Structure 1
Amino acid sequence: MQSLGFSHWTTILVLAGSVFSAGCRPSYEVDVVSAKQSGVAIKDMASELSPQDWPSWRGSQHDGVVRDAASIPGDGFQWPESAKVIWTSDVPGRGHSSPIVVGDAVYLATALDEEQQQRVLCFDRETGEVRFDKLIHQGNFPTDREVHKKATNANSTIASDGKRLYVTFFNSQSIFATALDMNGEEVWQTKVGMFVSRFGYAPSPILYQSLVIVSADNSGGGYIAALDTETGEVAWRIKRGDTDSYSSPTVANVGGRDQLLISGDGAVTSYDPATGELLWRTACISKATCGTVIAADERIFASGGFPDEETVCLTADGERVWSNETKIYEPSLLSQGGFLVAVSDDGIGFCWDAATGELHWKKRIGGNFSASPVAIGDVALVPNLDGDLHVFRIGERFEQIAKYRIGVDSYTSAAIHRGDLLLRVGGENLAKRLERLVCVQLIGDNVGQPVLIE
């Protein structure tokens, strides 16, 4: 999830209040559109991405696992005591949109609250130089009451198919999806639907064949919609519940079929990504969740949330395999090498056997976390809210490998590209918080300055 940055007690109190005041909040009727009704043809698009690209939230498969061989260290690699900063670039405004990398460019979304501007930025991958700064929305921001003080007006991570960029923003009491070409020129913009906000909007768009899929669980009337990537036309839109929830969807091939998976509204739910047709729904987890569902080895994993606390493993058909009473709220889970790894909001790390749920270790890592971990081979990397990047081994025993100082805080998740880490961090200039995009060399010749972004 693009972090909302809640403290636990604030979350509990405010969400509890939302339950009691739900009857006083506005609602609307979701405009349901079937795939048959829309007539939008869905095409199996040839990918224009390379294996090195990190094109969306948590990478190409939305699970945080690095699959580019050039980014995975070989046998005998020793993580350095310090790592090399390649470049840093100032990011105007504020956002929890994580960076994506496509080709020789890095993209992220940001919001300038005083100017009420929501923008998309492009940086040169090698130098950090700004290539373009595109204004998407001017004015009509939600009120301070509609966005949590630790959240932002640019939470969603951009998605790209190599031909266009797709970005979602909450503006004018609605969710808008906008497509840009790779040079920042607008191709189309679509109002996906109305949105009643409690803490702001968090989910990131994902791509499936010729569709961009947008979720918007909210108390006014939740929905998921699929838009044609070339035109922005609605291919289908389905209705969900009336719960304020914040998880991004994912598409995974499990059980011999593509499944659109999302947690929240008291369940993990599976849909046909081509049509929005319900495949199955398993009551579990909680009403409000933040993390993205992941799939590995024909199993589906999810955790959350409020008010209930559960981590669950399901079959490809939604049947329970195992579960426990652990809550991982903001960060998403990570599965690698037969292990399921998690870092809780309050800094507790967990590692379970993915097949059985047996707990291998539970360890206080340090600090509080909003970002989701990524895996490079058998190593996990995750930044905390103090600006420390923690690096530890994925395995039966906890092994702390390294700890790097990367900023004064870090809410977003990392992108990994050709052995380098791209991360949005908080810094300070004359005691004023600002944001920077930092490129850190993790794999290769690590002789250089320490990771310390002030």
Structure 2
Amino acid sequence: MTQLQTRYFSLAALFAFTVFTISAEAQEDWPRFRGASGSGISSSSAPTQWGPEKNIQWKTALPGAGASSPVVVSDKVFLTCYSGYGESRENVGNKEDLKRHVVCIDRTTGKELWSKTIAGTANEDDFSGIGVTAHGYASHTPVCDGESLFVFLGKSGVIAYDLDGKELWKKSVGDGSDSRKWGSASSPIVHDGLLIVPALAESRAVYALDKKTGEQVWVCESDALDNTWATPMIVNVDDRRSDIVIGVPDELWAINSENGKLKWAASGIGDTGFYTSAVESDGMIYASIGGRSGGGSIAIRSGGTKDVTDSHVAWNGRTMASFASPVVYNGHMFVIGRGGVVSVVDIETGKEVGKSRMQSSDSSRPKSSGGGGRFGSPDYGSPVIAGDKVYYTKGNGETFVFNADAECKQIAANKLTDDAEIFPGTPAISNGQLLIRSNKYLYCIGE
């Protein structure tokens, strides 16, 4: 081979490797609440520092507020919003004017590709109290299987669209309310041809719908599903068994994914409501909650039947989350608690091995400004991980970045805007970009 041929071959190989690498990175989707499996972990890295004039690739105005999180599939970003009623405490408006919106945005340019508007119902919850006033009427994160987009809009029902915005089917899953009138918030997931819809406030039920037709395959109904705002997750026990795990007051449940029957239950993490979602890692299920009457953390081995409290609970701990679901990474569980505290729990023992307090980047704000929001607060986001870093976005728009290790040292605190915006969602991470929504804009952060 001549020197020229060798050089050409080397350049061609480098080009092919570069194209392959870019393509592989571009294929990372974030198709549901907290990513592909609900773990909150991205395979890519992301910027650790940004500001109003730094590393914001684009921002796009939204048709309304919402506490749902964006999802990303290929070159499209999807999210939900609401308008017309309950947009602020100062200007509540009329309930009959409530509208919900589904928006599709081009991930590269930030251009809106399409949007849909769906009317509210006559039985919507009043914009009052400490729940609905904090998160509003678009709190369910959509889910996308790469072919269809599925949105759960509370009393407005479940709607399936193709990725160009054509409606495929629509299904009602009830129009009731939770007993506290805090509003509906749990997000749907897709599993094995089924759309799993946690209609917990609307009908005290978890539905399995055929994702192609919207027809009901099974339903799990129980009064114990009241006062639950968790998003379910899938735990693959073996090649033949998959459980749908969800928290309910005082317990965790596993529902048989084939027929909707209760497979097992475990107690030991008691409170009168369940506000966070569980996570799974290497066959272990982890959860952390904190509430008005109790809380704590728990680790449960997957599998089992009936009451598995004695047989499958590996440990109980005292670490309590706020509204943020925990994230498990490299042997540690990171828990966002009250007062802006991030606790690090050893997943083998349940013992706290580290703790860090969020330090605001703005000297005019309280020194401990993160993660402590509770009832009536917009701090509804959950931590996510990219590039060995923990990211947590607070309701005031600050995103705190920590090293994902036992020390959990804070390395940055970033603001997107100096304007008065509310940021109640969880960031989506895909292809090195962070997508964060407020009540006014969707922001794309990238280097």
Q: TM class, shorter-chain normalised?
A: 0.7 to 0.9
- Which position in structure 2 is the counterpart of 1:29? none
Range that drifts further, 416-425 or 81-90: 81-90
Shift of 1:261: 0.3
Paired with 1:129 and 1:80, the residues of 2 have a C-alpha distance of 24
- State whether residues 64 and 375 of structure 1, in contact with CA within 8 Å, keep that contact through their aligned partners in structure 2: yes
Pairing 1:297–2:282 present: yes
Aligned amino acid, residue 314 of structure 1:
I
How far does the alpha carbon of each residue in 1:185-228 deviate from its partner, in whole angstroms, 9 at most, with x for none? 1111111234223111000000001100011334x862111000
Shift of 1:268: 0.4
Q: Give, in whole Å, the separation in 1 of the partners of 2:404 and 2:426.
A: 18
- Determine whether 1:284 maps to 2:239: no
- Superposition map of 1:86-101 within 5 A: 86-101=57-72
Change (3 A) 1:51 1:250: farther
Aligned-residue offset at 1:80:
4.9
Instruction: Provide, for residues 211-253 of structure 1, a one-character-per-residue CA deviation record: whole Å limited to 9, x for no partner.
Output: 00011334x8621110001110000001122432211111122
Letter aligned with residue 436 of structure 1: Y
Structure-1 residue corresponding to 2:163: 182
Aligned residues: 375
CA-to-aligned-CA distance 1:138-168 (integer Å, 9 cap, x gap): 4533322485211210000000111111111
* More off after superposition, 319-328 vs 208-217: 319-328
- 2:290–2:296 Cα contact (<8 Å) kept: yes
Rate the CA distance shift 1:254–1:341 in 2: closer, same or farther, 3 A: farther
Higher helix proportion: 2
303-312 vs 333-342, which deviates more? 303-312
Unaligned 5+ segments in structure 1 are 1-49, 427-434, 447-454
Matched, 1:249 2:232: yes
So what's the TM-score if we normalise by structure 1?
0.78
- CA RMSD after TM alignment: 2.1
Call closer, same or farther: CA 1:213–1:110 in 2, change over 3 Å: same
Which 10-residue stretch deviates more, 161-170 or 339-348? 339-348
**Alignment of 1:436 onto 2:441:** yes
Q: CA separation in 1, counterparts of 2:250 and 2:257?
A: 20
1:214 maps to a residue whose letter is V
Q: More displaced, 323-332 or 122-131? A: 323-332
Instruction: Work out the CA distance in 2 between the residues paired with 1:208 and 1:328.
Output: 27
Identity of aligned residues (%): 26
| Structure 1 residue 112 corresponds to structure 2 residue 83 | yes
- 2:39 maps to 63
Deviates more, 1:356-365 or 1:93-102: 356-365
**Counterpart among 327, 330, 346 of residue 334 in structure 1:** 327
Partner in structure 2 of residue 315 of structure 1: 301
TM-score scaled by length of structure 2: 0.79
* Pick aligned residue for 2:45 from 59, 72, 95: 72
Does structure 1 conserve the Cα–Cα contact (< 8 Å) formed by 2:232 and 2:245? yes
Q: Kindly provide the amino acid, as one letter, of the partner of residue 227 in structure 2.
A: D
| Cα separation, 2, equivalents of 1:409 and 1:347 | 17
8 Å contact 2:154–2:175 — kept in the other structure? no
The DSSP-based 3-state class of the residue aligned with 2:133 is coil
In 2: Cα distance, 1:401 partner to 1:238 partner? 44
Instruction: Quickly say closer, same or farther: Cα 1:274–1:51, change in 2 above 3 A.
Output: farther
2:300 maps to amino acid: L
CA contact (8 A) 2:151 2:160 kept: yes
Which has more radius of gyration? 2
Gaps of 5+ in 2: 1-25, 86-96, 359-367, 372-379
| Higher-strand-fraction structure | 1
State the shift of 1:281 in Å. Answer: 0.3
